[in-house]
């Protein structure tokens, strides 16, 4: 079994390995478009889900199941797009906590 300190070290290493450092211009494009797509998918998914359930007024037998599944899939896709877009950061944004030899300038 791994000790808790090994688990903490592994999770910290995974977090820093998941970040993608890109130029500021690309970061802005990724942020704008991923947020726009994520919002569109989530809102659209709720609209499709609402349509499939007849504004929650239909009985379970009358629900359009394929349309409801499409709505849930759209909501999930929007959440995934947003989650993956948060992995990007610009070159000057913050500093990784691990392996930094530079002192902090914040006080």
Sequence spans of domains, the chain? 28-90
- Phi, psi for 101 (deg, rounded to 5): -95, -10
DSSP 7-20: HHHHHHHHHHHH-E
Token pair in block for residue 37: 């797509």
pLDDT given at position 100: 55
| CB of 13 closer than 8 Å to CB of 98 | yes
Q: What is the pTM of this model?
A: 0.66
| CB of 79 closer than 8 Å to CB of 38 | yes
| CB of 46 closer than 8 Å to CB of 72 | no
In three-state secondary structure terms, 14 is: helix
pLDDT given at position 16: 58
pLDDT given at position 103: 60
pLDDT given at position 36: 96
pLDDT given at position 12: 44
Low-confidence ranges of the chain (pLDDT < 50): 2-15
């Amino acid at each position: 079994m791994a000790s808790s300190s090994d688990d903490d070290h592994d999770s910290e290493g995974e977090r820093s390995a998941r970040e993608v450092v890109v130029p500021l211009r690309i970061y802005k494009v990724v942020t704008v478009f991923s947020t726009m797509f994520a919002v569109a998918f989530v809102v659209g998914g709720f609209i499709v889900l609402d349509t499939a359930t007849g504004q929650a007024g239909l009985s379970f037998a009358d629900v359009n199941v394929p349309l409801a599944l499409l709505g849930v899939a759209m909501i999930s896709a929007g959440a995934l797009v947003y989650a993956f877009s948060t992995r990007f950061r610009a070159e000057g944004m913050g500093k990784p906590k691990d392996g930094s030899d530079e002192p902090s300038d914040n006080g």
